[in-house]
Structure 1
């Protein structure tokens, strides 16, 4: 008989968080780990929040990958970056362990604040093809280190992928690929440091349903809601959440 380490009230709250996070991902193509980690970390240790994130993040990202015929060229192009992601995450986990303590909450809050500022600035970066071979692995390794510390894997991966100038659908696939690799690497790092228990794995699997429901709702809203307006609200909300997490630890 499965016994959850969390009270039923928390499971309901976590389910609501994953519906919201899935909805965000369904509309803008990213944000599930960022929203889920940011909100769950207000009520639980970051390492535990990261453990609950593994299954919903991995499955929704695999869902986002789309057709193999269009994905195959991206796999070859982005392979050096993904190798960097794996190495950076594992090295970061070996050096610092699973996200834990007040420092992890501050780091997560800072990452959310930086990500929100970047999104609101609307910076348009461009990466020349000739520098991809060395810049991709560097960006991947740095993304892995940020993932190991905070459990969030959008920085600097997403700005880099957007700077490649990929078509919209290819960009969605590229983000799905990068997030999938980051999720697997994060799970491996947590496992090696006993960062999650079998009960937490079961709860993570339970969160698949609300995350999938939210993603479906988000995809339905995508055609009706202005992406620009939604992104504005999304980044403002993330910035306020990140600032709150930082101030809570230093006050």
Structure 2
């Protein structure tokens, strides 16, 4: 690869994480979805997921400690969080390497499903009695999808939205779920060797700066624009991006 191509790729990665961080700053989620989706246009999903680790970890930890209910949420959500780890590691260990050639298509399908759910404004309600079994189920499926695509929003986000949390608790619960998902993904990638290469580690750390910059800009802009309008544009963009990845991965 020539130096000019390396420069173009580095600029694309930086702009991608700037945009992904901006989206997260405005709507509270979307960094891994936007980053892995756009990076999936130029690299395999596993490589995109490896670049995601540092920016996702730091921005999610910042979001996690933005509220006072960490202990309360941890006690309530630990079955789902444990299942996320189990699903990620089990799927990563059991899915044959030859199946990973379909990861791009799987990522596209995951993005399309997420966009459709978002545009339809589907709001599920989780009865308290169902949390005991539905939480671990949602966590395990989320972990399995994370292992293949690097995206950890489906079905964790709709499940958390169905718990009826207040806005502050919801933002903190998302940060908790995403932090655990990122840790599980990082361990899975490290065990598979994807994080053992210094260039990947270095690129992931360098991507942290634009991600944090975009996040702070998005937070500043959050109170100055219609979040609902932005969410619709965000999901429409994901729908187009996911469709393109699904079609490209299928052929």
TM-score normalised by structure 1 residue count: 0.95
* Partner in structure 2 of residue 139 of structure 1: 138
Alignment size in residue pairs: 247
Give the distance between the partners of 1:202 and 1:73, measured in 2 at CA: 36
* Partner in structure 1 of residue 228 of structure 2: 228
Is 1:81 matched up with 2:80? yes
Q: Is the Cα contact below 8 Å between 1:42 and 1:245 reproduced in 2? A: yes
Is 1:160 matched up with 2:129? no
User: Deviation digits for residues 21-62 of structure 1, max 9, x if unmatched?
Assistant: 000000000000000000001001111101000000000000
Give the distance between the partners of 2:153 and 2:56, measured in 1 at CA: 12
Give the distance between the partners of 1:22 and 1:62, measured in 2 at CA: 14
Give the distance between the partners of 1:9 and 1:41, measured in 2 at CA: 16
Give the distance between the partners of 2:237 and 2:97, measured in 1 at CA: 26
Q: Is the Cα contact below 8 Å between 2:102 and 2:250 reproduced in 1? A: no
Q: Is the Cα contact below 8 Å between 2:84 and 2:139 reproduced in 1? A: yes
Give the distance between the partners of 2:189 and 2:124, measured in 1 at CA: 33
In structure 2, runs of 5+ residues without a counterpart are none
**Pair 1:67–1:46, CA change in 2 (3 A):** closer
User: Deviation digits for residues 66-86 of structure 1, max 9, x if unmatched?
Assistant: 256321100100011000000
User: Deviation digits for residues 114-168 of structure 1, max 9, x if unmatched?
Assistant: 0000000001110011111111111101100000011000000000000000000
Counting only pairs closer than 5 Å after superposition, residues 1-251 of structure 1 correspond to structure 2 as: 7-67=6-66, 69-96=68-95, 101-196=100-195, 197-251=197-251
In structure 1, runs of 5+ residues without a counterpart are none
**Pair 1:110–1:88, CA change in 2 (3 A):** same
RMSD: 1.7
C-alpha displacement at 1:98, in angstroms? Answer: 7.5
Q: Is the Cα contact below 8 Å between 2:100 and 2:148 reproduced in 1? A: no
TM-score normalised by structure 2 residue count: 0.95
Secondary structure of 1:115's aligned partner: helix
